[in-house]
A and B are shown apart, each in its own frame.
Chain A
Amino acid sequence: MNRRNIRVSGPLTQAVLGAVALLVAAFLILPVLIIVPVSFTADSFLSFPPPGFSTQWYARVFSRADWLNSAWLSIWIAVVVTVVSTVLGTLGALGLVRGRFIGQRLLLAFIMSPLIVPGVIVAIAIYFFYARLKFVGSPLAIAVAHTTLAVPFVVVNVSAALHGFDRRLEMAAANLGAGRFATFFHVTLPIIRPGIAAGALFAFISSFDELIVAMFIAGPTQVTLPLRMWESMKSSLDPSIAAVSVLAIAISVALFLSSALLQRRARRRSGAASGDPQ
């Protein structure tokens, strides 16, 4: 498809449009970038432009046990969430894409709903439920709740990979004598693997960044990284939050870039597998 085909304006209008688009894009990206120079300030409080360059806030973050404990807790929870939601979500996507059953659309809407339902509603529902079970305050409790919120990302990405999949490859494997499990592990899984990996990355980020549920069900000793950031943001504008933010953004961007590569590979692979020259 030729991208230029829907351009209707002359060069002047296109230039004005380009300027507007650039301003909007700058509005999107600059606030994220501005944290980087702020985190390297030599000052003892937030100021812009920073009076001098210093890594003091990074040094402070890495020397403080509370920040490090929170970071490890968040990583630990996110890893558990990623593993559980990837397994549940991949199986779920296989069932939803390959199976035909009554209430299928409703079930899909239900699985996807955590992306849309306001976070506070999910958070207090789970909080009341856990409170009754005396399950509040354990890292496992947070991981279970985060899995609910992370699973839709896996289902979406694995479903997308399955939709562009040529079933004849599986039939060929079966005709050549492969059993159901051999077919799955040698044919299906390698083809949808980039989709699974992309879903897993999104699941990790969604848990690592999650604040609202953690706010309600984390106990005083189980402070996740977003929760600690939230609490210090409310009390002060201490530049060490900027340093933590830059580290968190770096993790997110690295994961995002790998997922973009994975998605591209998934598309290419499923395109090649279905003989569709894309």
Chain B
Amino acid sequence: MNRLLRDPAFLVLPLALFLLVFYLLPVVQMLLRSTGADWSFRPFVDAFSSEVTLKVFWLTARIAVIVTVLTLALAYPLAYFIATTGERTAMVLLALVLVPFWTSILIRSYAWMVLLGQNGVVNGFLRWTGVIDAPVRMLNTTFAVYVGMVHVLLPFMVLPILSSLKAIDGRLVAAAENLGAGPGAVFRHVIVPLSMPGVLAGSVLVFVLSLGFYITPALVGGPSDMTVSMLIAGEVDLYRWDVASAIATALLIVTLVTLALFGRVVSLERIFGGAR
């Protein structure tokens, strides 16, 4: 018995018990609530017989796909430059990625409200340069949702791509060059394939996190820019807890299925941990 207690595995017990009571149990209760009192799955029927629910799921998925593609297009050049430039420039650029990463989503969304408003910085600049005469409506539009979400999620794409680029063995590039490959060919046939793990990890992460977005679309989006998370919060406000649970369960299933299909590539340690 004494030997059994010496097993370091027991050290995880307090944390496991804490999460069991204050995290797993609430989530399981929510899942059970969504099945209805008599396992009739009535809340699901109520939630998904509504046009609105289906439309919001579709809109959220579309936002998630577009944000993922935009984020990838912006993150790859930045990550590649950081990986190939001098030590000092790389450190400065990395800091520029990490400072917004540790600034709260709420504050960054507020910054976009300040930037994109009718009297905001962007409108002021465009009018000053004479590109436009009257302020353009940018805040409370779908455009603002894309801009704000890409801004918030960009570091989640840059960091995994950078870490897989840094892991590439430079001798492979030298070998390809010695065998007569030009810069374009080396990039396409060596660098891009070898950075794929990072691209996949970043894309899965950004896609999954986009699916659950709430604060940014609620602050900078227009009335038609509703995400699944906003819908769930709205149902809770209307005291329709069973319906809210059903929609939340559906969102959780979509999230977990995405992660189960592609999640092997995601290493949270790399992003949030000391591996930097």
Residues of A near any B CB (own CB < 8 A): 1-10, 13-14, 17-18, 20-21, 24-25, 27-29, 31-32, 34-35, 38, 46-49, 88-89, 91-92, 94-96, 98-101, 107, 110-112, 114-122, 124-129, 144-145, 147-148, 151-153, 155-157, 159-161, 180, 195, 198, 202, 205, 209, 211-212, 215-216, 226, 229-230, 233-234, 237, 241-242, 245, 248-249, 252-253, 255-256, 260, 263, 266-267
Cβ A116 vs Cβ B19 within 8 A:
no
Query: Are A5 and B9 CB-contacts (below 8 A) given A119-B229, A195-B274?
Result: no
Q: Which residue of A lies closest to B109 (CB)?
A: A233
Cβ B272 vs Cβ A115 within 8 A:
yes
Flag the segment in B38-46, B47-55, B94-102 that touches A. B94-102
Cβ B84 vs Cβ A32 within 8 A:
no
Bound Cα distance A157, B268 (Å): 11
Cβ A237 vs Cβ B114 within 8 A:
yes
Cβ B108 vs Cβ A31 within 8 A:
yes
Bound Cα distance A267, B274 (Å): 8
Cβ A28 vs Cβ B168 within 8 A:
no
Q: Which residue of A lies closest to B107 (CB)?
A: A245
Cβ B78 vs Cβ A21 within 8 A:
yes
Query: Are A124 and B77 CB-contacts (below 8 A) given A237-B114, A245-B110?
Result: no
| Contact residue among A91, A152, A161 (Cβ-Cβ distance under 8 Å from B272) | A152
| Contact residue among B113, B215, B274 (Cβ-Cβ distance under 8 Å from A160) | B274
| Contact residue among A21, A48, A211 (Cβ-Cβ distance under 8 Å from B120) | A48
Cβ A14 vs Cβ B84 within 8 A:
yes
B58 within 8 A of A: no
**Residues of chain B lying within 8 A (CB to CB) of residue A126:** 22-23, 26
Distance in Å from the Cβ of A163 to the closest Cβ of chain B? 9
Cβ B83 vs Cβ A3 within 8 A:
yes
Cβ B102 vs Cβ A18 within 8 A:
no
Bound Cα distance A277, B259 (Å): 37
**Residues of chain B lying within 8 A (CB to CB) of residue A215:** 233
Q: Which residue of B lies closest to A262 (CB)?
A: B274
B3 within 8 A of A: no
Name the interface residues of B90-126: CB closer than 8 Å to any CB of A: 90, 93, 96-100, 102-108, 110-115, 117, 119-121, 124
Q: Which residue of A lies closest to B187 (CB)?
A: A8
**Residues of chain A lying within 8 A (CB to CB) of residue B268:** 112, 115-116, 152, 156
A-B CB contact pairs (8 Å), 24 listed: A2-B170, A3-B83, A9-B183, A17-B77, A21-B93, A25-B97, A28-B154, A35-B110, A35-B114, A46-B117, A92-B11, A107-B16, A124-B30, A124-B248, A128-B29, A180-B6, A211-B215, A212-B214, A229-B110, A233-B106, A248-B107, A252-B102, A252-B104, A253-B99
Query: Are A31 and B115 CB-contacts (below 8 A) given A49-B124, A118-B212, A128-B29?
Result: yes
Distance in Å from the Cβ of B43 to the closest Cβ of chain A? 13
The number of A-B residue pairs with CB atoms under 8 Å apart is 300
Bound Cα distance A161, B33 (Å): 41
Residues of B near any A CB (own CB < 8 A): 6-16, 18-19, 22-27, 29-30, 33, 74-75, 77-78, 80-87, 90, 93, 96-100, 102-108, 110-115, 117, 119-121, 124, 151, 154-155, 165-166, 168-171, 173-174, 177, 183, 186-187, 191, 205, 208-209, 211-215, 219, 228-229, 232-233, 236, 241, 244-245, 248, 251-252, 255, 259, 268-269, 272-276
A-B pairs, top 5 by smallest CB distance, nearest first, are A5-B170, A118-B212, A99-B9, A95-B12, A95-B11
**Residues of chain B lying within 8 A (CB to CB) of residue A110:** 19, 24
Cβ B269 vs Cβ A159 within 8 A:
yes
Bound Cα distance A75, B7 (Å): 37
Bound Cα distance A180, B16 (Å): 23
Cβ A28 vs Cβ B106 within 8 A:
no
**Residues of chain B lying within 8 A (CB to CB) of residue A152:** 268, 272
Bound Cα distance A29, B90 (Å): 15
Query: Are A91 and B15 CB-contacts (below 8 A) given A8-B173, A119-B229?
Result: yes
